Chains A and B, each alone.
Chain A
Amino acid sequence: MRRLLVAWLMLAACAAPAAAAELPDWSGTWTPFIGDQMRRIKTDPVPWTPAAAAQIAAMAAEEKAGNPRGLFIDCLPEGMPSWMLISHNALEFLFSPGRVTLLGESDGNRLRRIYTDGRAHSTDPDPSFHGESIGHWEDGTLVVDTVGVLPQAYIAVSEAVGLPNNGDLHVIERLHLAGPDTLHDDLQIIAPHVLTKPWTTTRIYYRQRARKYEIVEGECLQGSFTPSTDKYGNAIFVPVPQVNGNPKPQ
């Protein structure tokens, strides 16, 4: 009986979420290594299906010719996995019991909730831009499994080139420190409607501790407005005419 109790206690300890004291220090602001994002598109090529590859080639030609509309100019979230793949803006991690939260700069919708409380995926999660993320810790590595992503969420290789995942997206990530202030996100992206096989790639983030690099508020649509005053003298925003996400020259 005592042996059974010990075995049960050991099992319970393994299944329990990692205590905060056991977690690595991921505080600070993390800035993406943008140069490496661009390099990895060549070194870790995306295994597009032939039909997807043809669309990507056409989009790349459009960008080269200088007329892309851009994937994100409507200010919908970049979502998963594009946020991790192509963002040029900083992110931060918040650790709380049973959960890791990612917050990103520049777009008020950049937010991922990763549950590390031992739960399983929902049987039928409501689709969302960032999906349903369940994580667990393995010796300082946060392993994250994400499903339930909207089929419209892009797999982007740049702001102008990428395709919707078209459904059944599954992303597995291993986030870990590769140095005192360097974090790697090793991604495996499974998208059977646009990829011929899982796409494995890595994104690198650098830690900044100086206060001036702390993330500032950013609302994607704010750039579409300019400060003004109404007829009563109230401070208001008014729309800025735009062309393809840029202020329209006057």
Chain B
Amino acid sequence: MNFSRICLSLVVACMALPARAHHSFAMFDQTRTVTVTGTVKEFHWTNPHVSLWVYAVPQNGAAPELWTIELTSPGNLTRAGWSRHSVSPGDKVAVEIAPLRDGTHGGGFKKLTLTDTHQVLTSDFLEKPGLP
């Protein structure tokens, strides 16, 4: 195993799982990924959980559906490189989520791509002292 591979292994070992607080996220089916593509309605940079509401347009031309997506806390997202200005109402986004098990339009956040800039945001952050 060369040095760079060792470093990579350490980084992966120190990477937090999607961080949660306040309540369990077991109501989301972590074995599935659904991509919600649409326009941001609201982005609440609020403890204990940041929330994102997205209007998704179904491919069959039906009326837009409002999806409710739950993220971790502002503090944890800051450590993952976010700020309260990372997402704004009107942004076009593709959001990967672990969908609610009951089939309603909501889920736990996995990954977001801002369609216009191709910027990718996740909630993964390193767990170590002295983060930059």
Contacts and interface: CB of A to CB of B under 8 A. Distances in A.
B68 A248 contact: yes
Interface in B19-52: 19-24, 26-29, 42, 44, 46-49, 51
Interface residues of B, number: 43
B contact face: mostly helix, strand, loop, or mixed = loop
A9 to B, nearest CB: 41
Interface string A226-249: 110000000000000000111111
A247 B23 CA distance: 12
A33 interface: yes
Contacts of A248: 68
A128 interface: no
B73 A246 contact: no
Kindly state the interface size class of chain A when it binds its partner. Answer: 35 or more
A55 interface: no
Given A34-B16, A208-B131, A249-B68, A73 B23 contact: yes
A216 B68 contact: no
A113 B3 CA distance: 46
B23 A33 contact: no
B11 interface: no
B23 A219 contact: no
Contacts of B42: 226
Interface of B: 13-14, 16-17, 19-24, 26-29, 42, 44, 46-49, 51, 66-68, 70, 72-76, 78-79, 100-101, 104-106, 127-132
22 contacts: A35-B16, A66-B27, A68-B23, A72-B22, A72-B23, A73-B22, A87-B21, A88-B20, A89-B76, A181-B130, A206-B127, A206-B130, A207-B130, A208-B131, A212-B78, A215-B75, A216-B47, A222-B47, A223-B44, A223-B48, A247-B51, A249-B66
Give the 4 A-B CB pairs with smallest separation, nearest first: A218-B47, A181-B129, A160-B24, A70-B23
